[in-house]
Amino acid sequence: MKSASEYWRRNLRLVIISLIVWFVVSFGFGILLVDPLNSIRLGGYKLGFWFAQQGSIYIFVGLIFVYARNMNKLDREFDVHED
Amino acid sequence: MDLKTLTFLVVGATFALYIWIAIKSRASSTSEFYVAGKGVHPVLNGMATGADWMSAASFISMAGLIAFKGYDASVYLMGWTGGYVLLAMLLAPYLRKYGKFTVPEFIGDRFYSNTARMVAILCLITASITYVIGQMKGIGVAFSRFLEVDFATGLVAGMVIVFIYAVFGGMKGITYTQIAQYCVLIFAYTVPAVFISLHLTGNPIPQIGLGSTMSDGNGVYLLDKLDLICNDLGFAKYTTQKGSTLDMFLMTMSLMIGTAGLPHVITRFFTVPKVRDARSSAGWALVFIAILYTTAPAVGAMARLNLMKTIQTGEVGAPNSNLAYTEAPSWFKNWENTGLLKFEDKNNDGRIQYYGPGLDDKAASMGWQGNEMVKVDRDIMVLANPEIAGLPNWVIALVAAGGIAAALSTAAGLLLAIAAAISHDLLKGIFMPDIDEKQELLASRIAMGGAIIVAGLLGLHPPGFAAQVVALAFGLAASSIFPALMLGIFAKHVNNKGAICGMLTGLGSTLIYIFWFKGWLFIPGTNMAPDNAANWWLGISPGSFGAVGALLNFAVALTVSKFTANPPEHIQHLVEDIRVPKGVAAASDH
């Protein structure tokens, strides 16, 4: 059986990568970089505005499912899954 | 059929449905009362979480704030959705693995201290009561319009209904009613949005309509048109930033970590059977929430456009291009009756002038003597929206039912969290461990009643619009509960003293900062400094301070733990145990 600390390390790595994406699309694109991004257009939306009011939310949803799937895989790999 | 009868019918029918479900699935044990027996399917739990989560603030208030603040209101959109990412990755699966009923219970066990549990109860109650005040404001607005009475009477009517409703079911009843309420509220929210989007842009999907061109044939994008009209009328442009970047950043952060720290949301993840269900359930919750949250920007922008076009019918300054008061549509008069919309004919020309500070100089030369829409309560926008857009009466009735569903479902969830903290943690857990299940249930029902009365009284003079009051609650949860939970799982060496000092620092600093500007206990007139950007520390608004409080909490907890004894062996094993899903407590273990 593989070690619990290795499982935890892999989990933390996955969480950190996910949270970087989470931070970049909301705080990054939606707030800090909103002005430069607003010079790009997505139809009637300015891109920074779109990230702040639409895009970040779609990405959050995707992010949770990707995380959940990877974690379920990790659980099986380390044999710590339920039932 | 007139609007009032129709509204009574629609609202009455939805109520009958909720009550029927509540009776069918009434709680008979404490496990069913607190966590629905831990047997709720993750998709259904996600839906119930959505209803639990989306409150009067989301349904009634948020689009109104977006309508008037434009881009700056993005903090609510990102903040109230991004928190689910934190919840799914940092808290939900581990707390589910731990497998108890309440948040203070986890904190008390993990930090092996009844004091920690008491502090957690204090944090939980402070945040939840503030949150319920926001709900009460929203419920008051909905009922005052729907019963055509003033705001205070509407609020009392709302309190009575929440009381009857929440004391009834417990978590099991609430979960299944919330699923029904989600369906009602999402239908009620999207139907008018689809109509309005179709009408303005020709595209039935509001998320796409907002980025499309106007259907009037000029090929101008809707958002550009809105910027233009705002500019013409002397308001700040819709899509540009008005507040400071620092404040937006901290506000978004506060709302996100507050979302992950709010006890009534966390409790929802105790109700699913497995750890992996807790992960996916957070995703499903966000799917259901995102449907409303991505529609809201369209609702806000389109409502603002319609409102300005209704009042300013032609070019600014041209004769007869302002709406005559005698020709004002019925929604205008109806909302005037509630006192939430006020018009004052300052220049006695019988017409309505609605404009912003940017037009002041030019306005004087046109014989305008000030903005005559002296009060437009932002919380009325969503409810008034279908009327402003001229949609059929059944849509208006539906929106009233949806708003009430949103407020009720959240109030019920919050009251349950408060009741559980008092009866399960404070009485059963600490002071009266000998009481039986029946007495515990009775105590929690009494606690609910008390909480409704306190929140209702404070809701009469709310410290802001519903969504803003709710934002304060998030700040409180962010600064106190979230850091304690996260450190409890991720930092094995954090001990009882560290956690207690951390929570007290976070809650105390945030609470004082809020009361300083909003008044002690939100009582008007007792604030120490005027609530505006010039007085705020570094320009940080009270609603944004939660992020700073959370940072202080983390720093204090880690520092104190470093200089005091490590947690005992069995606590370190406990932490190791909750980090792996295997060996989860079975679904019907309690």
What is the residue-averaged pLDDT of chain B? 86
CB contact B24 to A (< 8 Å): no
Q: Which residues of A touch B209 (CB under 8 A)?
A: none
Cβ-based neighbour number of residue B588 at 10 Å = 10
Q: Is the pLDDT of residue B227 over 90?
A: yes
pLDDT of residue B589: 37
Residue A65's H or E segment, with its range, is: helix A56-77
Share of chain B above pLDDT 70, in %: 94
Q: Which carries the bigger pLDDT value, residue B166 or residue A23?
A: A23
The count of residues in chain A is 83
pLDDT of residue B349: 87
For the segment A37-66, the average pLDDT, to the nearest whole number, is: 95
What is the distance in angstroms between the Cα of B414 and the nearest Cα belonging to chain A? 24
Residue B405's H or E segment, with its range, is: helix B393-420
* Structure-token pair, residue B34: 């607190």
Are the beta carbons of B211 and B226 closer than 8 angstroms?
no
How many Å from the N-terminal Cα to the C-terminal Cα in chain A?
Answer: 17
pLDDT tens by residue, B104-163: 999 999 999 999 999 999 889 888 888 888 778 778 877 887 777 888 888 888 888 777
pLDDT of residue B82: 95
Are B211 and A50 an interchain contact pair (Cβ–Cβ within 8 Å)? yes
Band of pLDDT at residue B247, cut at 50, 70 and 90 = very high
pLDDT tens by residue, B417-453: 888 888 888 888 888 888 888 888 888 888 888 888 8
Rounded CA Rg of chain B: 24
Residue type, B315: E
Searching chain A, which residue's CA lies closest to the CA of residue B577?
Answer: A4
Buried b (16+ CB within 10 A) or exposed e, B518-536: bbeebeeeebeeebeeeeb
Are A44 and B207 an interchain contact pair (Cβ–Cβ within 8 Å)? no
Quickly count helices (H) and strands (E) in chain B: 24, 2
Are A64 and B224 an interchain contact pair (Cβ–Cβ within 8 Å)? no
Are A61 and B283 an interchain contact pair (Cβ–Cβ within 8 Å)? yes
CA dist B71 → A49, A53, B63 (Å): 7, 8, 12
Q: Which residues of B touch A49 (CB under 8 A)?
A: 71, 74, 223, 239
Q: Is the pLDDT of residue B281 over 80?
A: yes
pLDDT of residue B38: 61
pLDDT tens by residue, A10-48: 999 999 999 999 999 999 999 999 999 999 998 899 999
CB contact B210 to A (< 8 Å): yes
Are A64 and B84 an interchain contact pair (Cβ–Cβ within 8 Å)? yes
pLDDT of residue A3: 84
CB contact B276 to A (< 8 Å): yes
pLDDT tens by residue, B534-580: 888 888 888 899 999 999 999 999 999 999 999 999 999 999 989 98
Instruction: Choose from A58, A60, A65, A83 for mutation: most chain B CBs within 10 A.
Output: A60
Q: What domains can be seen in chain B, in order of their start residue?
A: 3-307+391-463 (1.20.1730.10), 311-382 (no CATH)
* Structure-token pair, residue B193: 């949005």
Residues 287-346 of B with CB under 8 A from A: 287, 290, 293-294, 297
Residues 232-271 of B with CB under 8 A from A: 239, 241, 245, 248-249, 252-253
Are B581 and A80 an interchain contact pair (Cβ–Cβ within 8 Å)? yes
Are B579 and A43 an interchain contact pair (Cβ–Cβ within 8 Å)? no
B399: three-class secondary structure by DSSP: helix
Give the range among A62-71, B102-111, B156-165, B481-490 with minimum mean pLDDT: B156-165
CB pairs under 8 A between A and B: 139
Write the CB contacts of B241 (distance below 8 Å, at least 6 apart in sequence): A34, A35, B71, B72, B248
pLDDT tens by residue, B366-387: 888 888 888 888 888 888 888 8
Are A49 and B81 an interchain contact pair (Cβ–Cβ within 8 Å)? no
Q: Is the pLDDT of residue B468 over 90?
A: no
CB contact B62 to A (< 8 Å): no
pLDDT of residue B34: 60
Which of A31, A44, A80 is opposite residue B221, by nearest beta carbon?
A: A44
CB contact B63 to A (< 8 Å): no
The model carries a pTM of 0.89
Are A53 and B279 an interchain contact pair (Cβ–Cβ within 8 Å)? no
Band of pLDDT at residue B274, cut at 50, 70 and 90 = confident
pLDDT of residue B550: 96
pLDDT of residue B422: 87
* Structure-token pair, residue A38: 């607003």
Band of pLDDT at residue B590, cut at 50, 70 and 90 = very low
Are B584 and A60 an interchain contact pair (Cβ–Cβ within 8 Å)? no
DSSP B33-82: HHHGGG---HHHHHHHHHHHHS-HIIIIIIHHHHHHHGGGGHHHHHHHHH
For the segment B397-406, the average pLDDT, to the nearest whole number, is: 84
**From CA B290, how far away is CA B288, in angstroms rounded?**
5
Residue A46's H or E segment, with its range, is: strand A45-46
pLDDT of residue B489: 94
Q: Is the pLDDT of residue B187 over 60?
A: yes
What is the residue-averaged pLDDT of chain A? 93
Residue B451's H or E segment, with its range, is: helix B437-459
Q: Is the pLDDT of residue A74 over 90?
A: yes
B436: three-class secondary structure by DSSP: coil
Phi, psi of B343 (to 5 degrees): -120, 140
* Of B462, B447, B457, B510, the residue nearest B483 (C-alpha): B510
Q: Which residues of B touch A46 (CB under 8 A)?
A: 223, 239
Residue type, B425: D
